[in-house]
Amino acid sequence: MTATTTTSRLQAHKPGFGRLVLGEWTKLRSVRATVWSLGLLVVLDLGFTALFTWLTVSQWSKSSPAAHAAAIADPTSLIMGTGLELGQLTICVLGVLVITSEYSTGMIRASLLAVPKRLPMLAAKATVFGSLVLVLGVGVSLASFALGAPILHSKAPVSLGDPGVLRAVVGGGMYLCVLGLFSLAVGTIVRHTAAALTGVIAFVLVVAPLTLLIPGSIGKYVHAYMPSQAGQLITQAHRGPQDLLTPWQGFGVFCAWTAALLIVAGIMLNRRDA
Amino acid sequence: MIEVDDLTKRYGDKTAVAGLSFTVGPGIVTGFLGPNGAGKSTTMRMILGLDRPDGGSATVDGKLYRDLPQPLSVVGALLEARAVHSGRSAYNHLLCLAQSQGFARRRVDEVIELVGLVEVAHKRAGGFSLGMGQRLGLAAALLGEPSVLVLDEPVNGLDPEGVLWIRNLMKRLASEGRTVFVSSHLMNEMAVTADHLVVIGRGKLIADCSTEEFIASNTERSVLVRSPDGGRIADAIAAAGGRVSANGDGSLEVADLDSTRIWELAVDGGFVLSELTPRRGSLEKAFMELTRDSVEYGIPSGSASNGSVQ
């Protein structure tokens, strides 16, 4: 039969996970949202790092001794903090859109017809998106440090060779990577762009600070274990006096949150009708 | 070959597909017919592994869709709802699907040419017209040169040229030995395209037979008789076993007796005939008769004329 003989001609490559990754890479690079989100990440991160470090230096004489002490104790955290705080929003948006745009446009049906076993599809998506954000995130973090450290040098000198600094800078990229996967998981669970985005932003920006209002030591503990709060500890060169968790413990907590959400996302994706 | 066995799907307490069983064979176009809401799309989505059945199974070449290692080389599907990211170009849409199956890039160019989208291949699919969207959907379906095609309402919203193009394409694919399963709620469209029909209503099987058989057994034949001797000829026809009903304009509608026999009766009785026309009930009407009880949201009789829909 013609149908079967021509099919064999098409099987040029061996089936496997690699081809799914290739397909997901084409999907990711061929929509505008990817380009503008990641472009905005670079602009926001570098722009606010420069602005904030410059303001810190120019306002040095007017700021409190406590602020001086904090800056000198961990200049890396100060350099990484602001740019990341704003830049991370673009990763939240893109992470959610990577999956919810498939639902809103109907593309998910084409995706699942091509890859009917749904978990490999999600795994390929997470691999491609996570790798892209990791590479770009580490690059942006290094650039942000290279930009902020010289500005801050006269007041709080720091170099990549100092203990914990390189880990903190690379950690900025690792934080963005895991945040992207966190957003992807929420997007997969919620499926609607606006709702998923609200959920992620609420988690990252609103709920975490609110937990500080819980009275007593419970509030302190809850706050320390909130995903973004714990995750950002990796961008500090060393553990601060107030921190309940070390940088690596904090990052571990963030990874655990993300892994749990990805598992829930996988189960729901597998179970639901597309 | 598609095999559907006792397939059932429920949404809450509503049963969309109720114990459906049929087989779709290769080499012919099989029409999947039923009124809107009959469960056609749901059935197709279960065949394609998009929806999970609550009971029974649907297999393609003996396998569940989910277990096909390279599904696009076995089954090509065109869904009723769009399945394309509006921000992605037609070329990249097909490329990402091809890559996921391990097909060569060259195949993408081939299907783009096959469906006639060469000029707009690098434009964003969101700007495509309905017809171009259907062509892109078909390109995706044909990407892996599959032996089975599942097409949900492929001619919906197309202009006559597009309808003809799809009709010929389906016939050609079937003549190449492929299994072509195509749904429609338009009986007349299926009558000219499909060789075999699977008819459902309210999720249940109504008919599974060749199109010819379906037409023969479901269209009522009648003869229109017009005569100045209306009353007397009606008696003669009734006596010969025909069923006579009077049309409003003085003509008679005769069933169960063919035109030759009526002609003989007229000659024997010396009646004058001013018209004798054999009539075949429309297929569309037959389909509506057959599925009337199974239309999900029927129009209550009489409500259309007095407008008192509640």
- Which of A264, A274, A241 is closest to A184 using CA atoms? A264
Residue B36 belongs to some domain of the structure: yes
**Chain B residues close to A113, C-beta within 8 Å:** 48-50, 71-72, 75, 77, 83
Residue B144 belongs to some domain of the structure: yes
Same domain, B31 and B64: yes
Of A22, A31, A101, the CB nearest to B99: A22
Give me the pLDDT at residue B303, please. 41
Residue B87 belongs to some domain of the structure: yes
Highest mean pLDDT among A20-24, A203-207, B246-250, B285-289: A20-24
| 3-state DSSP of chain A | CHHHHHHHHHCCCCCCHHHHHHHHHHHHHCCHHHHHHHHHHHHHHHHHHHHHHHHHHHCHHHCCHHHHHHHHHCHHHHHHHHHHHHHHHHHHHHHHHHHHHHHHHCHHHHHHHHCCCHHHHHHHHHHHHHHHHHHHHHHHHHHHHHHHHHHHCCCCCCCCCCCCHHHHHHHHHHHHHHHHHHHHHHHHHHCCHHHHHHHHHHHHHHHHHHHHHCCHHHHHHHHHCCHHHHHHHHHCCCCCCCCCCCHHHHHHHHHHHHHHHHHHHHHHHHHCCC
Q: Any idea which of A221-225, A250-254, B2-6, B172-176 has the lowest mean pLDDT?
A: A221-225
Mutate to test the interface with B, among A2, A6, A14, A30 (most CBs of B within 10 A): A30
Structural contact between residues B7 and B46, judged by C-beta atoms closer than 8 angstroms: yes
Same domain, B98 and B83: yes
**B211 vs B93, which has greater pLDDT?**
B93
Structural contact between residues A79 and A152, judged by C-beta atoms closer than 8 angstroms: yes
Say if residue B215's pLDDT is above 70: yes
Helix H or strand E encompassing B2: strand B2-11
A206 alpha-carbon distance from chain centroid: 17
Q: What is the mean pLDDT of residues B124-132?
A: 92
Residue B269 belongs to some domain of the structure: yes
Query: Please, which residues bridge with residue B209 across strands?
Result: B197
Give me the pLDDT at residue A12, please. 47
Residue A185 belongs to some domain of the structure: yes
- In whole angstroms, give the CA distance from residue B100 to residue A10: 13
Of B87, B102, B145, the CB nearest to A7: B145
Same domain, B31 and B180: yes
Find the helix packing angle between A165-190 and A118-152, rounded to 10°. Answer: 140
What is the domain count for chain B?
2
Mean pLDDT of chain A: 91
- Which of B196, B224, B199 is closest to B281 using CA atoms? B224
Q: What are the pLDDT digits (tens) for A203-219? A: 888 888 888 888 888 88
Give the CATH number of the domain where residue B248 resides.
3.30.70.100
- Residue A114: domain span: 17-271
Of B51, B79, B97, the CB nearest to A273: B51
Same domain, B110 and B243: no
Give me the pLDDT at residue A272, please. 93
- Which of A266, A26, A106, A29 is closest to B100 using CA atoms? A26
Q: Any idea which of A12-16, B150-154, B162-166, B180-184 has the lowest mean pLDDT?
A: A12-16
Residue A8 belongs to some domain of the structure: no
Give me the pLDDT at residue A6, please. 45
Give me the pLDDT at residue A2, please. 42
Same domain, B149 and B161: yes
Same domain, B112 and B177: yes
- Residue B123: domain span: 2-217
**A82 vs B25, which has greater pLDDT?**
B25
Residue B125 belongs to some domain of the structure: yes
- In whole angstroms, give the CA distance from residue A91 to residue B280: 66
Distances (CA, A) of A270 to B66, B102, B210: 11, 23, 38
Q: Which band of pLDDT confidence, cut at 50, 70 and 90, is reported for residue B158?
A: confident
Same domain, B206 and B113: yes
- In whole angstroms, give the CA distance from residue B182 to residue B189: 11
Chain B contacts in chain A segment 77-116 (CB below 8 A)? 101-102, 105-110, 112-116
Residue A12 belongs to some domain of the structure: no
Same domain, B100 and B238: no
Give me the pLDDT at residue B300, please. 54
Look at residues B173, B188, B217 and tell me which one is the last residue of a structural domain.
B217
Give me the pLDDT at residue A43, please. 96
Same domain, B11 and B118: yes
Compute φ and ψ for B217, nearest 5 degrees.
-85, -15
3-state SS, residue B227: coil
Same domain, B123 and B249: no
Residue B178 belongs to some domain of the structure: yes
Residue with tokens 């009723």: B80
Same domain, B108 and B231: no
- Joined tokens for residue B141: 């379906």
Q: Does B57 touch chain A (CB under 8 A)?
A: no
Residue A1 belongs to some domain of the structure: no
Angle at A14 between CA B125 and CA B72, to 5 degrees: 40
Q: What is the DSSP secondary-structure string of B81-101?
A: S--S-TTSBHHHHHHHHHHHH
Residue A168 belongs to some domain of the structure: yes
Residue A257 belongs to some domain of the structure: yes
**Chain A residues close to B95, C-beta within 8 Å:** 26, 30
CB contact under 8 A, A19 and B101: yes
- Which of A124, A33, A142, A26 is closest to A83 using CA atoms? A142
Residue with tokens 């921190």: A243
Of A23, A108, A109, the CB nearest to B96: A23
Residue A93 belongs to some domain of the structure: yes
Same domain, B243 and B170: no
Describe the strand order of the beta sheet including B275-280 as a list of residue ranges.
Answer: B243-246, B252-255, B221-226, B275-280
What is the domain count for chain A?
1
- Indicate yes or no: pTM above 0.90: no
Residue B234 belongs to some domain of the structure: yes
Residue A118 belongs to some domain of the structure: yes
Say if residue A102's pLDDT is above 70: yes
Task: Examine the predicted complex and report whether its ipTM is higher than 0.85.
Answer: yes
